[in-house]
Amino acid sequence: MNGIDPEFAALPLHELADAALSEARKSGAQHVDFRVERIHGQRLRLSDARLQSLVDTEDAGLAVRVIVDGTWGFAGTVDLTPAAARAAARQAVEVARVTAAMNTERIELAPEPAHGDVVWVSAYDVDPFAVPARDKVELLEGWSADLLAHSVVSHVNADLYQVKECKFYSDGATTATQQRVRLFPQLTVGAVTAAGFDDLCTLAPPAGRGLEYLTGTGWDFPGELAELPELLAEKVRAPSVQAGRYDLVIDPTNLWLTVHESIGHATELDRALGYEAAYAGTSFATPDKLGSLRYGSELMQVTADRTVEHGLSTVGWDDEGVASQSWDLIVDGVFVGYQLDRRMAQLSGFGRSNGCAFAASPGHMPLERMPNVSLRPAPDGPDIAGLIAGVEDGVYVVGDKSWSIDMQRHNFQFTGQRFYRIRNGRLAGQLRDVAYQATTTDFWNSMQAVGGPQTYLLAGEFNCGKGQPGQVAPVSHGAPAACFAGVQVLNTAQEGTG
C-alpha cells in the first residue's frame, strides 16, 4: 500500500497547524481551520510521435480560514513556517473584521463529529512521479508511431496529464493527512481528406489510478488503439444524419457527461439557492421540488459518492473535516437529495454536511464541489447489444465531445465521438454530424431501459470549473448504457454547431 509522500510528511505539519489555530483563536476567531497543500502536476504532449512539451508544476502553501462574529476571513501564504502560519491567521481574522460591514448573512457551520488524527491515500499501484519522464514519452511515441503507420491517419496527438495532491487539514478536532493520485491519458487521430478533416479520441476516461493504468490495469489501451484507425476510416466515409426524433442508445462513454451537466451541477445546493451562478448558472432543481420533482423515469437511480475506489472526487475527508459518504440524489426517478458543505447544510436545516467542500489550491477558499455522481445500472439489465436489439429506428452514441447547457441546467445539447444508425435492432454503420437536444426532465423521463452492471463505466472530468475566482476540481461519474425514446437529433453541419 502506498503511503504519504515522504517529502510532504517531513514538513512540520502539526507545528504549523498549532501555530495557526492558536493564533487565530487568540485573535478572536470563533472557528478556524487550517490546510497545507502540495499539488504536483506533470503534462506531456506529443504531436505525430514527437515531444512538443513537458511541463512540471507545483503549487504549495498553507491556508487559514476563520469565522469572526459570523463573517468569513481567509489568508494563505507559500511560506511554510510557524511564523508565517501565525501571520496568516492574524490576516484572516483582520479580513473578517474588515468585511463584516458588508456581510448580509451570518455564517454558521453544521456540526461534524471529531475524527481525531487520520490518514488516507487513494488507491493506486505505481506513482507516476516515480517513473522517469523519458519512459512515459517513449510509450506515447510508440503508440503514436503505430497509429501513424495506418494510411487513413494523417496526424496523432498524445497527451498525458498526471497529478499528485498531498493535503493536510486541521481544525483541532480532526487532523487529516491525505494523498490523491490521478491521471488522464488521451490520444487523438486525425484524417485529412478531400472532404475535409475528421478526428477521433480514445475513450479511456481519466481515473484515480497510477501509471499502471497505461499498462493494462483498468483499461485496454493496446486494444483500443488497434481499433482507432479503422473506426476513423469508417467515420470519414459515413453519411450525415437526417435530423428528427430517434430512440437513442447512449454509451456510458457519452452518458457520463450528460449526468455531470444535467444532474451533477443541478443538485449542488449553492446553485439551487442562488449563491453560485458562475459557469452556466444556477439550477432549476430548487428546494421546493425536493422529494416531489419527477426528475426522470422510475428506472432512474442516482447516487453521490465520495468513497468509490478510483473515483476522481474520492477522498477520506473533505476540506472542512467531514468524513466521506455516499447518499442518494434521485430514487426511482424522484429528486431526493443535494450536495452540501457545512454552511449550506446549516443554512438549509439538513443537520450535517455530506462532505462536499473542496479547495483547488492553498490559495483558494473551499467551495461546495461535486462528489462522484453516478447513474446506477439495473441489476438484471441487458448488455449493449440487448439495448440495441430493442430499437427499431435509432442512433447509438459513443464518446463525449462538445456540450451546451442553459443557465438553470435545464435545456441542453450534446455531441459525441461516434454515432451508429440502428435499424431493426441492429447497427447499420456510422453516421456523422449528430447532436441530441432536450430538456433535463424530458430527457431523463424518456429513459426506457437501463443497461446492466456489465455496461457500467466510471468516467469523468479532470478539471471541472466553478466559482469566482474560478477553481477546478476532478470528478468521476459512473453510468451504464441506457436507451431513451424519441429524443430530438440535430444535424450539426446544417445547424452550424459541432
pLDDT recorded at residue 377: 98
Q: What is the pLDDT of residues 327-364, one digit of tens each?
A: 999 999 999 999 999 999 999 999 999 999 999 999 99
Q: What is the pLDDT of residues 376-394, one digit of tens each?
A: 999 999 999 999 999 999 9
Q: How confident is the model at residue 497 (pLDDT cuts 50, 70, 90)?
A: very low
Average confidence (pLDDT) over 33-62: 98
Average confidence (pLDDT) over 441-469: 96
pLDDT recorded at residue 496: 54
Q: How confident is the model at residue 280 (pLDDT cuts 50, 70, 90)?
A: confident
User: Can you give the three-state secondary structure of the chain, one letter per residue?
Assistant: CCCCCHHHHCCCHHHHHHHHHHHHHHCCCCEEEEEEEEEEEEEEEEECCEEEEEEEEEEEEEEEEEEECCEEEEEEECCCCHHHHHHHHHHHHHHHHHHHHHCCCCCCCCCCCCCEEEEEECCCCCCHHHCCHHHHHHHHHHHHHHHHCCCCCCEEEEEEEEEEEEEEEECCCEEEEEEEEEEEEEEEEEEEECCEEEEEECCCCCECCCHHHHHCCCCCHHHHHHHHHHHHHHHHHCCECCCEEEEEEECHHHHHHHHHHHHHCCCEHHHHCCCCCCCCCCCCCCHHHCCCCECCCCCCCEEEECCCCCCCCCCCECCCCCECCEEEEEECCEECCCECCHHHHHHCCCCCCCCCEECCCCCCCCEECCCEEEECCCCCCCCHHHHHHCCCEEEEEEEEEEEEECCCCCEEEEEEEEEEEEECCEEEEEEECEEEEEEHHHHHHCEEEECCHHHCEEEEEEEEEECCCCEEEEEEEEECCEEEEEEEEEEHHHHCCC
pLDDT-wise least confident of 54-58, 133-137, 143-147, 216-220: 216-220
Percentage of residues in the chain having pLDDT higher than 90: 95
Q: Which fold would CATH assign to domain 6-237?
A: PmbA/TldD fold (3.30.2290)
pLDDT recorded at residue 1: 61
The one-letter code for the residue type at 16 is L
The pLDDT mean for the chain works out to: 96
Residue 195 has pLDDT above 80, yes or no: no
pLDDT recorded at residue 498: 44
Q: What is the pLDDT of residues 207-259, one digit of tens each?
A: 999 999 999 889 999 999 999 999 999 999 999 999 999 999 999 999 999 99
**Taking the domains of the chain in order of start, what are their residue ranges?**
6-237, 244-495
Q: What is the pLDDT of residues 383-438, one digit of tens each?
A: 999 999 999 999 999 999 999 999 999 999 999 999 999 999 999 999 999 999 99
Q: Rounded to an integer, what distance in angstroms lies between the CA atom of residue 267 and that of residue 459?
A: 19
Cell match 511515441: residue?
A: 141
pLDDT recorded at residue 2: 87
Average confidence (pLDDT) over 158-186: 98
Half-sphere exposure of 306 (CA within 13 A, CB side): 22
pLDDT recorded at residue 152: 95
Average confidence (pLDDT) over 2-6: 94
Average confidence (pLDDT) over 87-112: 96
Q: Are 225 and 472 in contact (CB under 8 A)?
A: no
Average confidence (pLDDT) over 153-182: 98
Pairing of strands 244-250, 393-405: parallel
Residue 193 has pLDDT above 90, yes or no: no
Q: Rounded to an integer, what distance in angstroms lies between the CA atom of residue 462 and that of residue 477?
A: 11
318-342 burial code (b ≥16 CB/10 A, e <16): bbbbbbbbebebbbebbbbbbbbbb
pTM comes to 0.96
